[in-house]
Chains A and B, each alone.
Chain A
Amino acid sequence: MNYQFDFAWLATYWPVFVDGIAMTIRLIVVGGVVGISLGTFCAWSRALGPAWLKPAVVTYVELIRNTPFMIQLFFIFFGLPAAGFRLTEVEAATLAMVINLGAYSAEIIRAGIEATPKGQFEAGASLAMSPIQTFRHVVLIPALQKIWPALASQVVIVMLGSAVVSQIAVEDLTYAANFVQSRTFRAFEAYFISTAIYLGLAMLLRFALLRLGHVLFPHKRAAR
């Protein structure tokens, strides 16, 4: 191997990576918040929602979980305009991430809800709470607390999967690497740097989410 590694271009091109990182973070923050909300709604519909909603949710979850994210993205960005639904690149990428995370988090949150003993529902009802109140205070919060680590992992997976949005010209971290390699012909170095940044982002995101879990769901074990 006679290849000379060269990272000198970083001096000129580092701002491109900074912009890319900002876009990747923006996508996962919006996609994460809205996606988990959608997932919570779907989990609620499957557990307690009206009968007509359940098959729709099951179909949605299975369709998304059994097709590649890239195809979902292409369908939304290239396919939907043909049906009169036009989105910008960033909107399409965000929507694809929301839909994707929504389906996976629905299954994760549902597992948490199903782990709730039936007596909890009954106890809530006996305190004259409405079904919605019972769901929010008695079922959902402990369920989220239980499955939070799994949910955090899924958000990290979606963040890593978002590398594909560069294919519809969203200027994320992968796009930055593509841009730099096309200018400098230092393909391996450009992808090496961006891979390392992704690894750092994944570790940081995971850490931040677990901390957030401690803030959102403080342990009340002593009350048991």
Chain B
Amino acid sequence: MTQFTFMDILRNLLIATEWTVILSLVSFIGGGLLGLLLLFMRIGKSRVLPPVVKIYTELFQGTPLLMQLFLAFFGLGLFGIDVPPWLAAGLALVLWTAAFLVEIWRGCVEAIPKGQWEASASLGMSYVEQMRHIILPQALKVAIPPTVGFSVQVVKGTALTSIIGFTELSKAGTVLTNATFQPFTVYGLVALIYFALCFPLSQVARLLERKMNVAHRH
């Protein structure tokens, strides 16, 4: 029977943290790319696509992430494939992240004054040119603080993937609790590690927001 010292617990948790970070990055980058694609569909001039994207975001924002993970896990299984937890976790988190990012970014694009659209149209720019040169560069500036802020939600969201069997920080916490019978220490440490990951992101988001508000006042 091996005894776990405090350092053993911490070391094992930190190893698992790597997977939390990797899954967060994959979800955030994947969700960002999908979100960008959905954004173009959402604000485009098509008649069909915007409502479709709207329903998509309503569905993902109106249901628990845990249910989405379960449905991804068992839904992929319906196709007769043996679904590894990382695949279901990654898929659900990417779809979920995209649903939130597209709404955040839509707000940023809509915050651009209408005159900017009209001015660029009067210069004979096409829709794509307007987006590329006029709208997106300005919207991007507004979008950075809330996007960084949302990354905190993504990191916290990855904790749920432990329930479908993906081994990351939370799962390691559960396993270590079962091995050491020290839930107070283990979950306390797990919480602190999440805090160490999320707090800097929150602070950066807040700082950027304040900086932008100051810039707007002048």
Asked whether any CB of chain B lies closer than 8 Å to the CB of A161, the reply is yes
Instruction: Assess whether A223 is interfacial by the CB under 8 Å rule.
Output: no
Q: Is A128 an interface residue (CB 8 A)?
A: no
Query: Do the beta carbons of A191 and B70 come within 8 Å of each other?
Result: yes
Chain B nearest Cβ from A50, distance in angstroms: 25
Closest chain-B Cβ to A96's Cβ sits at a distance in Å of 12
User: Given A3-B78, A167-B163, A198-B62, do A71 and B191 touch, yes or no (CB 8 Å)?
Assistant: yes
Closest to A66 in B: B198
Closest chain A residue to B75, Cβ basis: A188
Q: Which residues of A contact B160 (CB under 8 A)?
A: 68, 70, 164
A1-52 at interface with B (beta carbon < 8 Å): 1-3
In the assembly, what is the distance between CA of A70 and CA of B66, in Å? Answer: 11
Residue of A nearest to B71 (CB): A191
| Interface status of A79 (Cβ within 8 A of chain B) | yes
What per-residue 1/0 map shows which CB atoms of A183-196 lie under 8 Å from chain B? 00001100110110
Known A-B contacts A80-B184, A163-B67; the reply to A199 vs B62 at CB < 8 A is yes
Are A1 and B78 closer than 8 Å at their CB atoms?
yes
- A65 within 8 A of partner (CB): yes
In the complex the two chains form, what is the Cα distance from A62 to B152 in whole Å? 12
Complex: chain A residue closest to B192, CB-CB:
A67
A interface residues, how many (CB within 8 angstroms) = 40
> Does A90 make an interface contact (CB < 8 A)?
no
Q: A191 contacts which of B67, B159, B187 (Cβ < 8 Å)? A: B67
- Within 8 Å by CB of A70, from B62, B67, B170, lies B170
Asked if B113 is an interface residue, CB under 8 A from chain A, the answer is no
Q: Secondary structure of the B side of the interface? A: helix
Q: Say whether A63 contacts B195, CB under 8 Å.
A: yes
A191 engages B184 (CB within 8 Å) = no
Q: Select from chain A the residue with minimum beta-carbon distance to B72.
A: A191
CA of A67 to CA of B194, assembled, Å: 5
Residue-by-residue, is B39-82 near A (CB-CB < 8 Å gives 1, otherwise 0)?
00000000000000000000100111111101100110111100
Q: In the complex, what residues of A have CB within 8 A of residue B174's CB?
A: 74
The minimal Cβ–Cβ distance linking A171 to chain B, given in whole angstroms, is 15
B202 touches A66 (CB 8 A): yes
- B184 and A66 contact, CB distance less than 8 A: no
How many Å lie between the Cα of A82 and that of B152 in the bound state?
A: 29
With A66-B152, A67-B156, A70-B170 given, is the CB distance from A188 to B74 under 8 Å?
A: yes
Contact with A along B158-185 (1 / 0, CB 8 A): 0110110000001001100100001110
B199:A202 contact, CB within 8 angstroms:
no
B89: Cβ under 8 A from any A Cβ: no
Residue of B68, B74, B183, B202 touching A65 (CB-CB under 8 A): B202
Closest A residue by C-beta to B76: A188
Q: Does residue A160 face the partner (Cβ distance < 8 Å to B)?
A: yes
Partner of B67, one of A3, A65, A195: A195
Instruction: Tell which of A79, A161, A192 touches B183, judged by Cβ atoms closer than 8 Å.
Output: A79
A-B contact pairs, 27 of them (CB 8 A): A62-B202, A63-B191, A65-B152, A66-B198, A67-B156, A70-B160, A71-B159, A71-B190, A72-B191, A74-B183, A75-B183, A78-B187, A79-B184, A79-B187, A80-B184, A83-B184, A160-B62, A161-B64, A162-B64, A164-B66, A187-B70, A188-B74, A188-B78, A195-B71, A199-B59, A199-B62, A202-B62
- B-side residues, CB < 8 A to A, are 59, 62-68, 70-71, 74-75, 77-80, 152, 156-157, 159-160, 162-163, 170, 173-174, 177, 182-184, 186-188, 190-191, 194-195, 198-199, 202
Beyond A68-B160, A174-B64, A195-B64, 17 additional contacts (C-beta under 8 Å) are A1-B78, A62-B199, A65-B198, A66-B199, A68-B170, A70-B160, A71-B170, A75-B191, A78-B177, A80-B184, A160-B64, A163-B67, A164-B163, A195-B67, A195-B71, A198-B67, A199-B62
